[in-house]
Chain A
Amino acid sequence: MTDESPVNQETVRVLAAAAELRLASERAALIAPMLNIWMRQANELSEKMSAPEHWLLSPVTSFKVHRS
Chain B
Amino acid sequence: MSPSLGTVANLSLSEAADLIRTRELSSSDLVEACLERIGALDARLKAYISVYADEARHVAKALETMLVAGHRLGPLHGVPIALKDNIALRGKRTTAGSKILADWLPDEDATVAARLKSAGAIIIGKTNLHEFAWGGTTDNPHYGTCRNPWNPERFPAGSSGGSGVAVAARMCFGALGTDTGGSIRLPSAMNGIVGIRPTIGRVSNNGVVPLAWSMDTVGPMARTVRDCALLFNVVAGHDPHDDGSVLEATPDYTAGLDLGIRGMRLGVMPDYCFQHLQPAVLDAFRKALATLKDCGATIVDVQIDNIHGNIAAQLTVETCEPSTFHQRWLRERPEEYGEDVRRLLEVGEMMLATQYIQAQRYRKLLRQEFIQAFHLVDVFVCPTVPFTATPVGATTVVIENGVEEDMLSAIMQFTGVPSLTGLPSLAVPCGFDPDGLPIGMQLVGRPFDEATLFRVGAAFQSATDFRTHV
B343 touches A60 (CB 8 A): no
Chain A residue numbers with a CB within 8 Å of B349 are 15-16, 19, 21
Chain B residue numbers with a CB within 8 Å of A60 are 214, 360-361, 363-364, 367, 422
Please tell me if A59 contacts chain B, counting CB pairs below 8 Å.
yes
A35 touches B347 (CB 8 A): yes
Please tell me if B80 contacts chain A, counting CB pairs below 8 Å.
no
Please report A residues at the B interface, Cβ cutoff 8 Å: 7, 12, 15-16, 19-23, 27, 30-31, 34-35, 37-39, 41-46, 48-50, 54, 57-61, 63-68
List which B340-394 residues lie within 8 A (CB) of chain A: 343-344, 346-347, 349-352, 354-355, 357-365, 367, 371-372, 374-375
Output the nearest chain B residue to A46 by Cβ-Cβ distance: B358
B351 touches A42 (CB 8 A): yes
Output the nearest chain A residue to B319 by Cβ-Cβ distance: A38
Output the nearest chain B residue to A11 by Cβ-Cβ distance: B350
Our pick among B309, B312, B346, B363 for the contact of A31 (Cβ within 8 Å) is: B346
* Count of CB-CB pairs between chains A and B under 8 Å: 113
- The secondary structure that dominates the B interface is helix
Scoring A38, A39, A58 by chain B CB atoms within 10 A of each residue's CB, the highest score goes to: A38
B319 touches A68 (CB 8 A): no
Please tell me if B11 contacts chain A, counting CB pairs below 8 Å.
no
A42 touches B355 (CB 8 A): yes
Please tell me if B442 contacts chain A, counting CB pairs below 8 Å.
no
B214 touches A45 (CB 8 A): no
Give the interface residue-count category, chain B. 35 or more
Q: How far is the CA of A35 from the CA of B323 in the complex (A)?
A: 14
B315 touches A41 (CB 8 A): yes
Output the nearest chain B residue to A30 by Cβ-Cβ distance: B343
A-B contact pairs, 28 of them (CB 8 A): A12-B350, A15-B349, A16-B346, A16-B350, A20-B331, A21-B346, A21-B349, A27-B346, A31-B346, A31-B347, A31-B350, A35-B350, A42-B316, A44-B312, A54-B361, A57-B361, A59-B357, A59-B363, A59-B364, A60-B214, A60-B360, A60-B363, A60-B367, A61-B360, A63-B200, A63-B214, A65-B246, A68-B374
Contact status of A44 and B309, CB under 8 A, knowing A27-B346, A68-B446: yes
B312 touches A41 (CB 8 A): yes
Given A21-B349, A45-B362, A63-B246, 10 extra CB contacts under 8 A: A12-B350, A16-B349, A19-B349, A21-B330, A22-B331, A41-B312, A41-B316, A59-B364, A60-B364, A65-B246
Please report B residues at the A interface, Cβ cutoff 8 Å: 200-201, 214, 244, 246, 248, 306, 309, 311-313, 315-316, 319, 330-331, 343-344, 346-347, 349-352, 354-355, 357-365, 367, 371-372, 374-375, 406, 422, 446-448
Output the nearest chain A residue to B246 by Cβ-Cβ distance: A65
A58 touches B331 (CB 8 A): no
Closest CB-CB distance, B74 to chain A, in whole Å? 27
Scoring B200, B343, B347, B359 by chain A CB atoms within 10 A of each residue's CB, the highest score goes to: B347
Q: How far is the CA of A15 from the CA of B306 in the complex (A)?
A: 31
Closest CB-CB distance, B198 to chain A, in whole Å? 11
Our pick among B330, B347, B374, B447 for the contact of A38 (Cβ within 8 Å) is: B347
Chain B residue numbers with a CB within 8 Å of A63 are 200-201, 214, 244, 246, 422
Chain A residue numbers with a CB within 8 Å of B406 are 37
